[in-house]
Structure 1
Amino acid sequence: MPDRVVIKRLRRDHFIDLRPFAASPAFARLWIGSTLSGLGGQLTIVAVMLQMYALTGSTFAVAMIAVTGLVPMIIAGLYGGMLADAFDRRMVALIAATITFASTVVLAVITWGQWETVAWLYALTIVNSAANTVVSATRAAIVPRLIPSDLLPAASALNGITVGIMVMVGPALAGVLVAFTGYAWTYTIDVVLMLSLFVGLWTLPSVRPEGVIVRPGLESLKDGWRFLKGASNIRLQFILDIIAMTFGQPLALFPAIGAILLGGGPITTGLLTASIAAGAFVSSLLSGPVGRVRRQGLGIERAIVVYGGAMTAFGLVLGAAALGWFAPVGVDENTPNVVLIVAAVITMIVAGAADNVSSIFRNTMLQAAVPDAIRGRLQGVFIVVVTGGPRLGALYAGVLATLTTLWFPPLLGGFVIIGLVSLLVRSSPRFRAYDAEHPVP
């Protein structure tokens, strides 16, 4: 009988830890609001990509959606982090969320009125992503104030559930909505879902930064930079994530892959994007052992190396499609290559799982090792890295695919990720020895 109890406990310990919800109702409300609004945001992201491709027929134009917003997003992340370290973080997040909401409303209105242009899509995407960067950085700086420090890994795993739900359901649903109802309805649904974010933020208590407050400006930025210069573990995890996202982010290629290489059109685009989230979702559900890992630096390295391997495999699948393997005659939006679509989806599931495990370790390290007085600025840098890396990746993939072929960027990128990450981590014994029970930035 005791043996059965032990077995059941071990099995339960393998699943995600839900204690943060019970420990903090405020965290639970914020998590629900972020999940629903994030789901709507994914509808808009995929719809804008598809609409841009429909207007231009250019993979490069799709890639430039991310690239044009890079500098504004960097500015927003850095300045938003300074605001989060100087003022009530709840109010900072509410104001930024209002700007995000307004930009989505305008996008829906111009699409209903059939006034959309390439310039409008670029402009509204820039505003939306910049404001959302401030929301994300501020919200992440709030979480350690809502729950005990020993539950931070569990909170990071729950964030993986959020990403899994919104990216797994959102892109697939966006593909179906765009195919059967059009772009305007897709944007309108995002507007409705985004209202939940305000509920989660509005019901939070006041969250003012603790410690010495530095007013937003050049001195605040210098203060954050001085801290980061001395925080080698935090700095290296930023660099590793930039490498992974720059050379292993094929999202901008998905519309063209669905249209001309694998077939299936918008539905294939949605499936490929959703499969990344499916991997994140499943790995979060089974994240019990991840939350007990002490050597988190070593965990980051191994997770990113697996991610690079998945990207290489994805490139090989696309290469097989280019050679016509398993393809019916005349692959197009209505005639998919089902066998290779399944293979591509599997590689993206593995990639999503590996990236999520890395994210759990990186989030926990950042929230546990960085003092509250500077957490907003470091979270701002973190969000810039997390969202800026994929934008650089969109540029890398879009330009290289334009100069070569669709399958080459992920194939080459996977090898680059494995090589660079292994080299950098092996050159930093302090990072490999990082102990979660004694966090040192």
Structure 2
Amino acid sequence: MAFGDFVVDTRPLRVPAYRRLWAGQAVSHVGVAVTVVAVSQQVWELTHSSFWVGMLGLSNLIPLVVFGLWGGAVADAMDRRKLLIIGCVVAWASTILLVAQAMLGLGNVHVLLVAVALGAAGFAISSSTRGAIIPRLLPPDLVPAANALNSLVFSLGAVFGPMIGGVVLATGGFGAAYAIDAVLFSASLYAALRLPALQPLGEVVRPGAKAVLEGLRFIMGSPVLLMSFVVDIIAMVFALPRALFPELVAERFGGSMIALGWLTSAMAIGSVAGALFSGWVGRVRRQGVALVIVIAVWGLAVAAAGMVHELWLVVAFMAVGGVADVVSSVWRQSILQLHAPDEMRGRMQGVFMVVVAGGPRLGDLRAGATATAVGMTGAWVGGGLACAVAVLLVGLAVPAFRNYRSGERA
């Protein structure tokens, strides 16, 4: 097998509409990652409590669930370009609110939670819509490659954003960090504005509770789709240690903002490496059992990171987890996009977005609450080990998922 077979497939970038969408995400993800670091650190400085940092997860979760499911249903019933623009504007407004509260020196954790909730609503609408748009822009054989490219830019943003965030927080403060996000996010809005009209195909169902329930029934009727969500929830809720980063930095690394930047970037460093060498991912046929294996690797890597005390080792183990996570993401997204007809893709992407974005928020809440009860190390290491055990027990127990091969239809 040639080296080129392992390198990320760039053929989707030959399609102008997708290329602009991809480039817009590449720029805006850097700013979003800066804000993720800044808002968690600001909450920590205001409260000195991992519980309140974990509460950022809850303030994200509720809008993600509500607007993710609703946005997915709307995406199946209206021009997806227009809906993407709406979602981008809402998310942008939340960043402006963060800038304003920092400049005014409000120092109120509740204002931060409201701003984060507003951003989550915009993110939910735009992400579910964007996921449903990609199969309309590209032929089916290029969809897995597009998902790998999307994971690459998201991971690059997650690498450079926290590093930039650490430097900006140390030199310019919270207002400067949020302002960077506000400026860079305009790239996503520009890409959305340049998309062609994307009217719904097939049968149009009026958005609402009935449409959402129809999408959920479709998922419940497919063990493969259902389990692809379940294993991701296990991975994020049990193992994600993100809410513990400020406490770890305070306890082991002297409160260094540079250490916080490296720690926040660690998983994304592995994700970049995994995405850059993802050419082999689309050739794996037994994707069900493969998903179980890579999520177990993720959990074990997290547990190992929680047991070491040198920064470079923590970064290294979290990077290994990042490789496993990006491979898992490509498989799960490709299964979902190609498993459902176009008239269901918005709702499928809505549920996918709720799980992918909501799972980490529940993980933040779990980590913060567990750390309060058993300590940071117990919450970190115990979560990683629990993830590895649970995904092996649950994921391999469902024959349809265990035996799933790529390309099979529901």
Is the Cα contact below 8 Å between 1:69 and 1:125 reproduced in 2? yes
| 1:139-178 map, 5 Å | 139-178=130-169
Distance 1:297 1:426 in 2: 9
Q: SS of the residue aligned with 1:49?
A: helix
Q: How far apart are residue 25 of structure 1 and its match?
A: 0.9
Give the residue type in structure 1 aligned to 2:5: D
Letter in 2 for 1:34: Q
Equivalent position to 1:433, from 383, 403, 410: 403
Instruction: Give yes or no for contact 1:301–1:422 (8 Å, CA) kept in 2.
Output: yes
Asked if 2 retains the 8 angstrom alpha-carbon contact of 1:298 and 1:432, the reply is yes
Corresponding position of 2:233: 242
Contact 2:159–2:265 under 8 Å retained in 1: yes
Identity of aligned residues (%): 40
Give the equivalent residue in structure 1 for 2:21. Answer: 30
Unaligned 5+ segments in structure 2 are none
Q: State the Cα distance separating 1:92 from its structure 2 match.
A: 0.5
Could you tell me which residue of structure 2 aligns to residue 70 of structure 1?
61
The correspondence of residues 42-441 of structure 1 with structure 2, limited to 5 A, is 42-317=33-308, 321=309, 340-436=310-406, 438-441=407-410
Matched residue pairs, number? 410
The AA in structure 1 aligned to 2:120 is S
Q: 1:404 and 1:414 mapped to 2: Cα distance?
A: 15
The answer as to whether partners of 1:299 and 1:361 remain within 8 angstroms in 2 is: no
CA contact under 8 A between 1:50 and 1:266: conserved in structure 2? no
Q: Compute the TM-score of the two structures, normalised by the length of structure 1.
A: 0.91
Runs of 4+ in 1 over 3 A off after TM superposition: none
Distance 1:34 1:163 in 2: 7
The reply on whether 1:14 has 2:6 as its aligned counterpart is yes
For 1:73 and 1:101, how far apart are their aligned partners in 2? 16
Q: Distance in 2 between matches of 1:219 and 1:94?
A: 25
CA distance in 1, matches of 2:156, 2:61: 25
Q: CA deviation at 1:223?
A: 1.3
Amino acid in structure 1 at the alignment position of 2:16:
P
Amino acid of the residue matched to residue 19 of structure 1? R
Q: With structure 2 as the length reference, what TM-score do the two structures score?
A: 0.98
1:70, 1:391 within 8 Å by CA — same for their partners in 2? Answer: yes
Shift of 1:261: 2.4
CA-based RMSD of the aligned residues comes to 1.2
Point out where structure 1 has 5 or more consecutive residues left out of the alignment: 1-6, 322-339
- The structure number with the bigger radius of gyration is 1
- What's the CA shift for 1:115? 2.4
Q: Displacement, 1:433?
A: 2.0
Contact map agreement 1:172 1:271 (CA 8 A) in 2 = yes
- Indicate conservation of the 8 Å contact 2:163/2:261, yes or no: yes
In structure 2, what is the Cα distance between the partners aligned to 1:42 and 1:414?
23
Secondary structure of residue in 1 paired with 2:185: helix
Counterpart-to-counterpart distance in 1, 2:130 and 2:237? 25
Q: Structure 2 CA distance, aligned partners of 1:56 and 1:410?
A: 21
SS at match of 1:417: helix
1:410 maps to a residue whose letter is: W
Q: Which amino acid aligns with 2:93?
A: A
- Tell me the CA shift for residue 425 of structure 1: 2.2
Q: What letter corresponds to residue 376 of structure 2 in structure 1?
A: L
Query: What's the offset of the Cα at 1:264?
Result: 4.6
SS of the equivalent of 1:407 reads helix
